[in-house]
């Protein structure tokens, strides 16, 4: 019995060490380049080694009866959990009639069929695929594609409505852009209706994707003027910043979207300590622009808002 426990213990320890090594190598292969200090990596490896050494000590020098059996159980637990999890996931996938290799991931076939239906402007097929609970689709990517189709046919909102009615979430990543940001961008062609549809479906203006809150897309001069008030009414955070720490008034002024900047200041957005990229304060930039275009109604509105909030 003692020899059997020793053999099992050695086998489990070897498997644990191999599993840790494979996990580490796969992590290196899959991860993006990082700046993790070498000492931190060494500390993690040393911690794992000390854990295995502690189990070995417990097996060989355990101070109480049954220590060897406990050490074998502890050493075998990671292997049992790893194999058990893999077998369980394959069993569930088989019961659902899905590929065990793709279970829990986007189904490329379903995604391709959905995107073809979106491009064909076929709401019925979109509803059937997106509404099927067994379909594993990239919801954000589907929404962004439907929104980009509005550039060619701005009045065709049925496909977008079909996706939202099927329960597709607007608070998901859509590749390089958040769905709400794509809807805001689409307002150049299709007006504010795509944004209204996403907000009605639960889109969060402050949903953060990539470097900034989604609603910052409305600060561009090309955005439909009805979009920004709609976003502010739905809780867009005036204190939001992008990765560089710049707030909404900064970006509205940088885009020379004076109407948006005026609305933000009127709603209480911070601006007094704002310094633009050229070193100007917002007040001086507005005064300079007014000297060039004194009849600009948006600049006049922003000037009044700045004076009123001093």
pLDDT by residue for the chain (310 residues), tens only, comes to: 566 766 666 776 677 777 767 766 666 555 555 555 555 655 666 666 656 666 665 556 666 566 667 666 666 666 676 677 666 666 665 665 555 555 457 788 999 999 999 999 999 999 999 999 888 899 999 999 999 999 999 999 999 999 999 999 999 876 678 999 999 999 999 999 999 999 999 999 999 877 899 999 999 999 999 999 999 999 999 999 988 889 999 999 999 999 999 999 999 999 999 999 889 999 999 999 999 999 999 999 999 999 998 7
Q: Are both 217 and 228 inside the same structural domain?
A: yes
Same domain, 231 and 242: no
Q: Which pLDDT score is estimated for 172?
A: 85
Q: State residue 40's pLDDT score.
A: 60
Q: Report if residue 100 sits inside a domain.
A: no
Cα three-residue angle 95-98-99, rounded to 5 degrees: 120
Nearest to 198 by CA among 152, 244, 147: 147
Helix segments in the chain, DSSP class H = 2-30, 38-61, 67-95, 108-119, 123-130, 139-148, 158-165, 179-190, 193-200, 227-233, 248-254, 258-266, 282-292, 297-308
Verify that 114 and 61 share a domain, yes or no.
Answer: no
pLDDT at 234: 96
The candidate with the shortest Cα–Cα distance to 131, out of 109, 112, 114, is 114
Q: Both 135 and 222 in a single domain? A: yes
Q: What residues make up the domain containing 147?
A: 106-235
Q: How far apart are CA 27 and CA 118, in angstroms?
A: 36
- Same domain? 300 vs 242: yes
Q: Which of 79, 76, 78, 92 is nearest to 9 (CA)?
A: 76
What pTM, to 2 d.p., does this model score? 0.68
Residues 240/213, Cβ–Cβ less than 8 Å: yes
How confident is the model at residue 50, as a pLDDT? 58
* Alpha-carbon span 219 to 252, nearest angstrom: 5
Domain boundary among 67, 95, 123: 95
Q: Report d(CA 204, CA 309) in Å as an integer.
A: 28
d(CA 223, CA 184): 7
Residue range 85-96, pLDDT digits in tens: 666 666 665 665
From the number of C-beta atoms within 10 Å of its C-beta (0-12, 13-18, 19+), residue 11 rates as: middle
Inside any domain, residue 85 = yes
Q: What is the pLDDT of residue 173?
A: 76
The three-class DSSP label of residue 212 is strand
- Number of structural domains in the chain: 3
pLDDT at 41: 58
């Amino acid at each position: 019995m003692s020899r059997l426990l020793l053999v099992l213990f050695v086998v489990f320890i070897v498997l644990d060490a191999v599993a840790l090594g494979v996990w580490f190598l796969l992590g290196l292969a899959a991860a993006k380049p990082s700046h993790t200090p070498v000492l931190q990596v060494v500390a993690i490896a040393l911690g794992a080694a000390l854990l295995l050494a502690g189990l070995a000590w417990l097996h060989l020098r355990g101070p109480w009866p049954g220590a060897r059996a406990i050490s074998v159980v502890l050493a075998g637990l990671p292997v049992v959990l790893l194999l058990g999890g893999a077998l369980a996931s394959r069993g569930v996938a088989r019961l659902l009639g899905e590929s065990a290799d793709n279970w829990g991931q986007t189904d490329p076939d379903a995604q391709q069929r959905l995107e073809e239906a979106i491009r064909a402007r076929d709401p019925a097929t979109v509803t059937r695929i997106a509404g099927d609970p067994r379909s594993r689709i990239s919801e954000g990517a589907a929404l962004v594609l439907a929104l980009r189709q509005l550039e060619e046919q701005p009045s065709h909102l049925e496909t977008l409505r079909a996706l939202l009615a099927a329960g597709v979430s607007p608070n998901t990543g859509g590749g390089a852009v958040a769905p709400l940001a794509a809807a805001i961008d689409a307002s150049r062609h299709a007006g504010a209706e795509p944004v209204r549809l996403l907000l009605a479906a639960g889109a969060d203006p402050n949903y953060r994707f990539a470097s900034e809150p989604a609603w910052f897309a409305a600060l561009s001069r090309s955005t439909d003027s009805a979009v920004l008030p709609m976003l502010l009414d739905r809780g867009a955070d005036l204190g939001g910043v992008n990765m560089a720490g710049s707030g909404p008034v900064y970006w509205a002024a940088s885009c020379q979207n004076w109407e948006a900047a005026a609305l933000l200041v009127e709603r209480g957005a911070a601006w007094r300590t704002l310094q633009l990229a050229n070193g100007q304060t917002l007040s001086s930039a507005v005064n300079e622009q007014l000297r060039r275009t004194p009849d600009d109604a948006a600049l006049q509105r922003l000037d009044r808002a700045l004076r009123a909030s001093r």
